[in-house]
Amino acid sequence: MKFSTLFLIITMTAFSMHSLGQSFFDVGNLSYENVNYRPGSEQNYNVVKFSARLNYGHQIKNEDYLLVFYSGEIFKFQDISIAGDDLDLYANFIGAGYLHFWKNKKWSLLTQVRFKFNSDEFNPLIKYAQTGGWFLLTNKRSEKLNFFAGMYFNQEVEKTLIFPIGGLHWIPNNKWNLYVLIPSNIRFEYILKKECWYTGIESDWTLNSYRVHKNPGIYYFRKETLNTSVFIEKQFSKSIVIFGKIGNYQLNDFEAYDLQNNLIPNSSLDSNLIDNLSLQVGMAFRLRD
């Protein structure tokens, strides 16, 4: 199976929580992000994010694939308190799935389940696991064009989300490609020099909720973001890649809620469009198509 197909798998496992690209597969990656946040109604502050991912796909005898993945994220708020207290957020994602092909691989079906452990404590607790999953049907129209559609469900702290997903992967020539997964990710990639330099634009939407244990006044914390960035990537060897991104958060909303699911006053930090700039750097062990 081509690495572009493997990428699609990993995109769906993370469901665009920093999806990376459409014609490569990251076995693992590490990244650091700093967001300069100026909400207007509150003091200026920064959010620092550390993330790590591991992905694995194993081909079985009938050429289908078994899939497993792990990703972890740490968010640290600097120079601000939430509902009167400091707050750091931790996320751990563990998942597994199955990819089945038929009709000479013109069609494929991905089914996957994942468990998400989001809280203000680093140690994940099984009883607070948020379950989720999806299925994704892909139609390979040609070597350069794929369409896909499916359904996604995700258990958040306060409710369960169910909605359709869909998109395409288009490779019009050997210099650029376009990947679209609605509602979570759009990526345009341009090859400056094959096996050396890559650049482009991408947009990522995420929505997560976190159980809060250290502050008795908060039951859960909700985080919704939409970030559009320009990226540059340098491939140093066959598999080692260093990347950087400069982005703007069009949506960067943070909200704290109590046990009655009421928004806690003075805990909502709404976004100003121009003032939310981000810088991200990282490295990956990457396999390209």
- Of 259, 268, 278, nearest to 83 by C-alpha is 268
Residues 203, 180: Cα–Cα separation, whole Å: 10
* Contact predicate 247/230, CB 8 Å: yes
- 122 burial (CB, 10 Å; 0-12 / 13-18 / 19+) is exposed
Domain annotation for the chain: domains and CATH numbers: 3-288 (2.40.160)
At 266 the pLDDT is 64
The secondary element (H helix, E strand) that includes residue 4 is helix 3-14
At 272 the pLDDT is 60
Cα distance between the two ends of the chain: 10
* Angstrom distances, CA of residue 51 to CA of 13, 18, 92, 147, 278: 15, 9, 10, 29, 15
Residues 153, 162: Cα–Cα separation, whole Å: 4
* Contact predicate 48/76, CB 8 Å: yes
At 137 the pLDDT is 95
* Angstrom distances, CA of residue 92 to CA of 7, 75, 114, 121, 127: 20, 12, 10, 11, 14
At 80 the pLDDT is 67
At 48 the pLDDT is 92
Residues 260, 249: Cα–Cα separation, whole Å: 30
Beta bridge partners of 45: 37
At 47 the pLDDT is 85
Check whether the bond before 183 is cis (ω within 30° of 0). Answer: yes
Residues 88, 121: Cα–Cα separation, whole Å: 8
At 87 the pLDDT is 78
- Of 197, 205, 131, 133, nearest to 167 by C-alpha is 205
- Of 121, 117, 36, nearest to 80 by C-alpha is 36
What does the pLDDT look like over 208-227, one tens digit per residue?
999 999 888 889 999 888 99
What does the pLDDT profile of the chain (289 residues) look like in tens digits?
444 445 444 444 433 333 333 567 889 999 999 988 766 556 667 889 999 999 998 999 888 999 999 999 999 887 666 666 677 899 999 999 999 999 888 999 999 999 999 999 888 788 889 999 999 999 999 989 999 999 999 999 988 999 999 999 999 999 999 999 999 899 999 999 988 999 999 999 999 999 999 888 889 999 888 999 999 999 998 899 999 999 998 887 888 899 999 988 766 665 566 667 899 999 999 988 7
Residues 6+ apart with CB under 8 A from 274: 248
Three-class DSSP category at 257? strand
Alpha-carbon torsion, ordered 128, 73, 259, 217, to 10 deg: 120
At 79 the pLDDT is 67
